Amino acid sequence: MRTQVAIIGAGPAGLLLARLLENAGIDVLVLERRAPDYVLGRIRAGVLEQGTVDLVEQAGVAARMRAEGLPHEGIELQFDGDPLRIDLRQRSGGKQVLVYGQTELTRDLMQARAEAGTASVYEAEDVTLADFDTAHPRVTYRHGGATHAVECDFIAGCDGFHGVARASVPARAIELFERVYPFGWLGVMADVPPVRDELIYAHHARGFALCSMRSRTRVRCYVQCPLDTDIADWSDARFWDELRSRLDPSVAEAMRTGPSIEKSVAPLRSFVAEPLRFGRLFLAGDAAHIVPPTGAKGLNLAASDVRYLAEALVGHYRDKSDAGLDGYSARALARIWKAERFSWWMTKLLHSFPEDGAFDRRVQRAEFDYLAGSAAAQTALAENYVGLPV
201 is catalytic: yes
**Distance separating alpha carbons of residues 178 and 162, to the nearest angstrom:** 14
If DSSP codes are grouped into helix, strand and coil, which group holds residue 46? coil
Q: Which positions ≥6 away from 374 have C-beta within 8 Å?
A: none
H helix runs in 77-169, sequence order: 88-91, 102-116, 164-167
385 is catalytic: yes
160 sits in the region (left: phi over 0; alpha: psi -120 to 50; else beta) called left
Q: Single out the catalytic residue among 203, 289, 297, 316.
A: 297
At 206, phi and psi to the nearest 5?
-80, -15
Residue (of 99, 107, 68, 43) closest to 385 by Cα position: 99
**Distance separating alpha carbons of residues 269 and 183, to the nearest angstrom:** 9
Q: Single out the catalytic residue among 12, 137, 292, 293.
A: 293
Give yes or no for a contact between 173 and 276, defined as CB atoms under 8 angstroms apart: no
Q: Single out the catalytic residue among 12, 72, 289, 292.
A: 72
72 is catalytic: yes
How many residues make up the chain in this entry? 390
Active site positions, annotated: 72, 201, 293, 297, 385
